[in-house]
Structure 1
Amino acid sequence: MPVIDEIQNFSDDLIKIFQDFHQHPELGMEEVRTSKKVNEFLNGVGIKTYTGIGKMGVVGVLEGNKPGKTIGLRADMDALPIYEKTNLPYSSKNPGVMHACGHDAHTTMLLGAARYLAENKNFSGKAIFIFQPAEEGLGGAKAMLADKLFEKFPCDEIYGLHNWPTGELGKVGIKPGVAMAGADFFDITIKAFGSHAARPEGSKDPIIIASSLISQLQTIVSRNVPPTQTIVLSITKIHSGSAYNVIPSDCSLSGTMRYFDKEIAKLVRKRMREIIDGVKKSYNVEIELDNREIFDVLINDQQLSEVMHEVASEIVGKENAFFRTDLVTGSEDFSDMLKVVPGAYCNIAHGGSLPLHNDGFILDDGILPIGASIYARLVEKRG
């Protein structure tokens, strides 16, 4: 069974919706226009909606033609703080904000599934359409859960998906069990003592201290973590000083840790604190660590991974749907929802683009009816 005919027939409408979202990207918890458009679309096809869930989230509820399971479908809506350089005719009109991760497409796919299901209603049970704000490290899933998402809209199963700009269009991969990394974000502030650059002996140079600290932090993975474990510790930002002839008084560092084993993550956090305390004492300065556990490990339900694989096989062909064996060190806050409701999450490939989060990222809109069909068939199959 290929892409659903009805969805393919209105795919031009989906492209227009996608391009509109792409032109008007909004950052996490600022998705005012996006939420409004989603709400209007759902109401327009006869779906009852609830807004303001987790501040900017929108939930649509559609009853099937007879009793059955309640199936949740989730899509993210937020964009990234990136200046777009694609030169597309529908490039971002919001300077410094870009849909560089394809959430505009995910939202469009779920709207397409909602339209099809509302027009046909050939399913049992109930479909819950969850449009989530602020996936990009801003806690959108947690915000919706704190707003009692699943108490208000109980689901028996939940499914999500993400575009993947590598490989052939329409290849669908799913990793049963542990699939995507958990992630911490951290900020380190060194409060030292500045001086004239010509008289460094009068300073406690925060740049030298930062250099030492970075070197020591980078030994954690290689010397404290078993080599059989997959973990990443990256310093991604460093800032200090503003003049050629001044040794600054402070320095700030930021970075991320990605992990698959919670006990190993605890070990790394412990070693970070110990190293920072040691450097602090060694140089007699103040060093502050602000570590935030942003994403949990994403774990797909084994049985529902097989269900999602079966549905994907029907849509794209058995030769194009596969079980992944590799772990993804990227992170996804759909993991928070999967801790509450069993479900699964897959990736849909499209080729010819730069990576996600790149200012030249271009999404192949041929993916839209594929994702919409997978969403819709999951409801028809599992309701």
Structure 2
Amino acid sequence: MVLDEEQLIQIRRHLHTIPELALHETMTHEYLLQVVRSFKQDYLEIRETPELPTALFVRVKGTAPQRTIGYRTDIDALPITEQTGLPFASQHPGVMHACGHDIHMTVALGVLNYFAEHQPQDNLLFFFQPAEESDYGGKRAYEAGLFAGKWRPDEFYGLHDNPDLPAGAIGCRMGTLFAGTTEVNIDLEGQGGHAAYPQDANDTVVAAAALIMQVQTVISRSIDPIQSGVVTLGKIRGGEIRNVIAGHTRIEGTIRGLTQAMIESIDDRLRDLCAGIGRSFNMKVNLELNQGGYWPVENNPQLTKFFINYMKQAPNVDFVETAPAMTGEDFGFLLAKFPGTMFWLGVDDDSQLHSATLTPQESAIKRGVDAITGFMEARMNKEE
């Protein structure tokens, strides 16, 4: 039986009550497994893996497959205390689906349920992915070799909900949808000393100030102004007391870029600047760059063109061409390994993503399911 709108909403509300943090999505995993096992099983194969215990893979066998189409949804939540006042609010203190992953999972279950009832032409692979908000579960799955053999998708798709779009609208663009991100940690190691005797010390606060000012030139003077990139140094900690010269200072920040080449270019400039400050101030400057799986979400040109053309022409689909966003998404790593497309699903809310008051419009769920199942059927009918 195909799930109706009310059943989908009830699934979403239950998922909303049991949010869990990255790599700890045990209740979520069990509930997803319960729902999938309630579907018609004739064409389904369910896979759990010890390498990533909270992940869930479901394969749908096609009638005459030309390809395996992958669909990914993220399943983790955020360390945020919910303030929506909903009767189905989070039952886990300090944890909330404040990024809409409960919507994501419900749409994926709706699409899977449809194809469990209507056997697809192509093979389908559904990946319920843990650890999107942190710990990059997509990269973990890839590096564990979980996308091999019949579990390897030829192309991959996924969505993210968008409070700024009308409920049920589909948004997408050619090129980059989300920026890639890199964590920046810089430790400056000098020599502490008495404030009255600076000649006997090596002040890391002064060196950090010089470094911070030089970093401001990376975007303004080292990057093509037609391109987009951001370096933000959001935290600095140096010294313990006003009359002691600090022997250690730590700077923490983030890099955002719309292409992997842009991020790597910014990385190189930061390495050069840190090395230069180290030589200029005669101290150790240790730079740590951690990108993990948060690569730019760069949509495949051919597949995305087909996706956009379908959504523009499909009845009952409100398509919106969107601008790139500087937020991060670890689906970017998988799109660097498999061709595919990420897109937005509008949920029409005054609150933004990662807000304690995020309340997506549930009318978006069924419209999202219908749009995606229609697209997948159109994609299966396209000969290579």
Measured after TM superposition, the shift of residue 106 of structure 1 is 0.6
In the alignment, is the contact (CA less than 8 A) between 1:53 and 1:144 conserved in 2?
no
Q: 1:328 aligns with which of 320, 325, 333?
A: 325
Amino acid of the structure 1 residue aligned with 2:98: A
CA apart distance, 1:131: 0.7
Question: Which residue in 1 is equivalent to 2:71?
Answer: 73
Q: Tell me the residue number matched to 2:297.
A: 298
1:128 aligns with 2:125: yes
- Measured in 1, the distance between the counterparts of 2:186 and 2:89 equals 36
Match of 1:279 among 267, 277, 292: 277
Q: How does 1:236-315 map to 2 (within 5 A)?
A: 236-241=234-239, 248-294=246-292, 295-313=294-312
Question: Where does 1:29-178 land on structure 2 (aligned, <5 Å)?
Answer: 29-45=23-39, 46=41, 47-52=44-49, 55=52, 56-118=54-116, 120-152=117-149, 153-178=151-176
- Which among 208, 211, 216 is matched to residue 210 of structure 1? 208
Report the secondary structure of 1:130's partner residue: strand
Unpaired runs of at least 5, structure 2: none
Partner SS for 2:349: coil
Checking the alignment, whether the CA contact within 8 Å between 1:315 and 1:373 is kept in structure 2 is no
CA displacement at 1:241 relative to structure 2:
4.8
| Corresponding position of 2:187 | 189
CA contact (8 A) 2:2 2:113 kept: no
Structure number with greater CO (CA < 8 Å, separation at least 6) is 1
* 2: CA distance, partners of 1:211 / 1:83: 36
Following TM superposition, by how much is the alpha carbon of 1:176 offset from its aligned partner in structure 2, in angstroms? 1.8
Percent identity (aligned): 30
Aligned to 2:340: 343
CA drift of 1:358 comes to 2.5
Partner Cα distance (1:63, 1:33) in 2: 27
Please give the TM-score of this superposition, normalised by the length of structure 2: 0.87
- Structure 1 residue 347: deviation in Å? 0.6
Assess if the C-alpha contact under 8 Å between 1:54 and 1:145 holds in 2: no
TM-score by length of 1: 0.87
Q: Does 1:26 align with 2:20?
A: yes
Whether 1:377 aligns to 2:374 is yes
Cα distance between partner residues in 1 of 2:279 and 2:64 = 68
Partner AA of 2:205 in structure 1: I
How far is the alpha carbon of 1:191 from its aligned partner?
2.5
SS of the aligned residue for 1:189 comes to strand
Q: Name the aligned partner's letter for residue 377 of structure 1.
A: G
Looking at structure 1, the residues matched to 165 and 157 of structure 2 have their Cα atoms a distance apart, in angstroms, of 22
The 1:100/1:203 distance shift into structure 2, 3 A limit, reads farther
The answer (yes or no) to whether the contact 2:259–2:298 under 8 Å persists in 1 is no
Which residue type is aligned with residue 300 of structure 1?
N
Aligned length: 374
Structure-2 separation of matches of 1:380 and 1:263: 35
What is the Cα-based RMSD across aligned positions, in Å? 2.7
Deviations 1:153-193 (A, max 9, x none): 13233211110111322221111233332222121122334
Counterpart-to-counterpart distance in 1, 2:85 and 2:243: 41
Comparing 133-142 and 87-96, the one that deviates more: 87-96
The amino acid across from 2:141 in the alignment is: M
Distance 1:245 1:310, change over 3 A: same
Q: How far has the Cα of 1:92 moved from its partner?
A: 2.6
Equivalent AA in structure 2 for residue 322 of structure 1: V
Amino acid at match of 1:327: P
Superposed CA deviations along residues 334-372 of structure 1, whole A, max 9, x for unmatched, are 222223332211111222332212233222222211222
Deviation, 1:321, is: 0.8
State the partner residue of 1:317: 316
Following superposition, the deviation at residue 280 of structure 1 comes to 2.2
